[in-house]
Structure 1
């Protein structure tokens, strides 16, 4: 089976995010009758989907890991059988480049002045929809990390259904990590941009239309990535990481982390217009674990990054690699709605873990368990295992993929008739860099240290990527 591997970008330097376990694949496959080691549980029914960057054409200029075209890989489980499928996310930019037969865009490390178009709010970069996948109202939505169009996908065929405008009510963009409340059918989102209004917050109702949208005042352009919700509130972020405006005027993309500014968290009623800001120590946050209410307090667990700015003064490529390297710890905030005070502390100060997931049925409600990936001590981002955190006992359980083997975000997949947050499985794509092959591993969520109950060998390598989701069989119906 042919693979297209881009060895270098136009800088001439070997770029590790185009090599080995990251190297893009070009084939779109559908495959059943796969080799299974162990036994696929018959009470695991649904589909596991994972998004990620997959460069289709040699890039113009220097390649950034976030530049690759979105490709979703999926494994559908049904009554003890499994079927693999992968498809490109056919965005507007993907279709334009397909028609041209070559790349039309530069990436985020180059000047975007020649790019044919950008996103709705004025950011002139290529929207690849390569970052996250969530399920809402019968379709999967693929999103982009810098705010773009949410692209609808059929969860089984992976056919791109087009940019979702939510019944022609979405006016603007859509951030990388919207939140779905399964209890109400609502979807919560924000967008941001280089021009005022710098932040907008909205709610898509169970009707499928945007039913609430409000502009929020910020002191300048920021780069928020995620948010939290509780039963009554949404939590937004104003963090001291932002684009260097002078560099932007020169056509360069440079980030500044200002340690003199606090991190701010905006608590707003779900359908409210007035936001209340809580201050905390400066940091950056890529991903929220979950948030909930305890009396008059809001609790929010996150993976907190204390050093988000790139270190060193080497080549642009080395600075990019430094900037991308995740160094995050599990952290808890408490926002007291009576006093306006913030309390904050590490819940695991030692383990570098990220890409968290929970039982999606409990989003916005108190949760006991979180399932994270363990970040390897390596030059690039490699996930070398899984970690299960127990909020009740403070304990954690770990599983290592083994030497030279790296996995993906592993969302919780409830078993049929599941009665709890660990009554089910974790599913993950795993790639062995030594053998250049991939598989799917299924672990019992209540005993991840036991290792996989089943391994399913795949017909092609799955490049390392970003976020994943689990869609239950009852949701597919």
Structure 2
């Protein structure tokens, strides 16, 4: 018998509470007008535990659930499904949870540990004719783009033997998908593996790199000429994990190390730059500067949220906030440091851009403004959306009513030849008072004017992570 979910876990209540149902809705009600030219599917992924976990719960550990909104001629249909991973299937057959969360791995049943299953709960990406549900310590898990039925692990013709990051970068110029895996030679190892998949979905190249120390390397950035690996002092330790202490913990004394590799280079070509301790879950973009340098725009925390020190104690008295900064690297010079400057005033997370300008010079960025990890029951905190012009620093914002929370904004071009930033922003909004969600459509050039359309669900889309757009046709 399935056990009740605990009531004292902040990331299992309110906005973060799991959704226990799957459904199909062929015609969602709409307020306003959905642009008729908006044709395609918006996919969104996030943790949604099927069963109550054993021990304390960590937000990053729930089973992945996909939400698919299909747009066609002003109408929107919806489907949600758990990603039926091997873990999900085993627990489903068992009828109750068998696993501990990120910090309670020792409570997981041995046969589930032996399965070494993905939870596929972080991102969902369309590339090379495949829809891939991703996390960061396993191979990608393919699902059918319409039914969301499982197709199993995707290893690119058995050429991928290790994990794949949840944040691959797709080059808009040549269609390549560039990605990496950390702890690539086993849990808590300092090994990174860089992989390049061509636009047809065939793995072409892999490079093995050894980082200065084992670290949680959630994301990275790519330019037209280089790959940038940020190694932050959120360290991994098998010794800690084996003794019941935090597997990942903040050790600021190790500092920040940034490895820069030419796109066509080998491990011997990596150059390391060093900086003050900080953490970045998500960069916005990176590109090659006209002077030969590299520019990286990063959503930077002074200390990471959601993780403790090595002794398990909190590392901050409040919720750490991230702010958008620009790092500039002189790859032709001799300095081993880099320059930092602030870009925006509003704290936030989940930075995105017009993906046609990924790896390239760009101007328009979007992100969630506010504390997206705030989990208090019934609080009045809200998280809105921010549009920033990174050239001028000018910001525009949309703020929902108190208590409501916006998810990650996804940009969709108005048409294939539209200029940068000319299009729509899609974002889910949790309506706290009604405990349900809307999908909002904004004119990306007039964010502060509010949504041009609200697509209404009768249930809640739980607090999640990332999504992407797949055009029709």
Alpha-carbon separation, structure 1, partners of 2:148 and 2:57: 26
Structure 2 residue 80 is the aligned partner of structure 1 residue 90: no
Partner of 2:119 in structure 1? 128
Structure 2 residue 213 is the aligned partner of structure 1 residue 217: no
Aligned counterpart in structure 1 of residue 332 of structure 2, from 332, 338, 357:
338
Structure 2 residue 133 is the aligned partner of structure 1 residue 142: yes
Aligned counterpart in structure 1 of residue 296 of structure 2, from 282, 295, 300:
300
Alpha-carbon separation, structure 2, partners of 1:6 and 1:305: 35
Of 282-291 and 93-102, more deviation after overlay is shown by 93-102
Deviation at 1:311, TM superposition (A): 8.6
Q: TM-score by structure 2 length?
A: 0.90
Aligned counterpart in structure 1 of residue 240 of structure 2, from 222, 225, 247:
247
Aligned counterpart in structure 2 of residue 45 of structure 1, from 36, 39, 49:
39
Partner of 1:357 in structure 2? 352
Deviation at 1:218, TM superposition (A): 2.2
Structure 2 residue 367 is the aligned partner of structure 1 residue 372: yes
Alpha-carbon separation, structure 2, partners of 1:324 and 1:203: 40
Alpha-carbon separation, structure 1, partners of 2:167 and 2:57: 23
Partner of 1:226 in structure 2? 219
Superposed CA deviations along residues 240-278 of structure 1, whole A, max 9, x for unmatched, are 110345422313324332333331111112231121112
Aligned counterpart in structure 1 of residue 154 of structure 2, from 164, 174, 180:
164
Alpha-carbon separation, structure 2, partners of 1:275 and 1:111: 34
Contact in 2 for aligned 1:24/1:463 (Cα 8 Å): yes
Contact in 2 for aligned 1:372/1:387 (Cα 8 Å): yes
Alpha-carbon separation, structure 1, partners of 2:94 and 2:403: 38
The secondary structure found in structure 1 opposite 2:106 is: coil
The 5 A counterparts of 1:28-427 are 28-112=22-106, 114-116=108-110, 127-144=118-135, 146-193=136-183, 194=187, 196=189, 198-273=191-266, 274-295=269-290, 296-308=292-304, 325=319, 327-341=321-335, 342-348=337-343, 350-376=345-371, 379-380=374-375, 384-427=383-426
Structure 2 residue 457 is the aligned partner of structure 1 residue 458: yes
Contact in 1 for aligned 2:443/2:452 (Cα 8 Å): yes
Of 250-259 and 366-375, more deviation after overlay is shown by 250-259
Alpha-carbon separation, structure 2, partners of 1:434 and 1:5: 27
Contact in 1 for aligned 2:324/2:342 (Cα 8 Å): yes
Deviation at 1:61, TM superposition (A): 1.3
Contact in 1 for aligned 2:86/2:117 (Cα 8 Å): no
The secondary structure found in structure 2 opposite 1:169 is: coil
Contact in 2 for aligned 1:39/1:453 (Cα 8 Å): yes
Alpha-carbon separation, structure 2, partners of 1:254 and 1:67: 13
Partner of 1:434 in structure 2? 433
Contact in 2 for aligned 1:34/1:82 (Cα 8 Å): yes
Give the aligned CA root-mean-square deviation in angstroms.
2.7
The secondary structure found in structure 2 opposite 1:112 is: helix
Partner of 2:8 in structure 1? 14
Moved over 4 A (4+): 4-7, 309-313, 322-326
The secondary structure found in structure 2 opposite 1:447 is: helix
Alpha-carbon separation, structure 2, partners of 1:419 and 1:371: 17
Contact in 2 for aligned 1:231/1:365 (Cα 8 Å): yes
Alpha-carbon separation, structure 1, partners of 2:373 and 2:150: 35
Q: TM-score by structure 1 length?
A: 0.89
The secondary structure found in structure 2 opposite 1:199 is: strand
Alpha-carbon separation, structure 1, partners of 2:286 and 2:280: 14
Superposed CA deviations along residues 319-352 of structure 1, whole A, max 9, x for unmatched, are 59x7995510001111111114343334346321
The secondary structure found in structure 2 opposite 1:226 is: coil
Deviation at 1:84, TM superposition (A): 1.1
